[in-house]
């Protein structure tokens, strides 16, 4: 997707549309470093300027991938601690409450 026709300097490289079945994602840069992972609610859209967007059908699939890349229990620890690398709502692990 190219928004330059409106004068915006944005390059969309990864995209999850409103109806896509795979809602769990991992965003990586050109050197394959993980920037973010999480989920996007059905009806919402996710766009990224990063070159790699991996999508998964379930949270389990995403968790396995993240733990394989970053170490055992990284996914669970990130969710439960409120680490900014996780975006969305986990269906498996409790998340910190916002005050």
Tens of pLDDT along 30-74? 888 999 999 999 889 998 888 899 999 999 999 999 999 999 999
**Model confidence, pTM:** 0.84
Residue 28 confidence (pLDDT): 93
Structure tokens at 1: 């997707």
Q: Report residue 38 as tokens.
A: 């999480």
DSSP conformational letter for 2: B
Upper half-sphere CA count for residue 92 (Cβ side, 13 Å): 15
Q: How far apart are CA 7 and CA 24, in angstroms?
A: 31
What is the rounded distance in angstroms from the CA atom of residue 94 to the CA atom of residue 1?
35
């Amino acid at each position: 997707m190219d928004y330059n026709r409106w004068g915006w300097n944005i390059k969309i490289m990864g995209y999850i549309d409103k109806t896509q079945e795979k809602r769990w994602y991992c965003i990586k840069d050109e050197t394959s470093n993980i920037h973010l992972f999480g989920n996007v609610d059905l009806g919402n859209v996710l766009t990224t300027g990063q070159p790699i967007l991996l999508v998964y059908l379930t949270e389990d699939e995403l968790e396995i991938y993240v733990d394989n890349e970053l170490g055992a229990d990284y996914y669970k620890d990130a969710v439960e601690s409120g680490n900014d690398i996780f975006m969305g709502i986990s269906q498996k692990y409790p998340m910190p409450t916002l005050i």
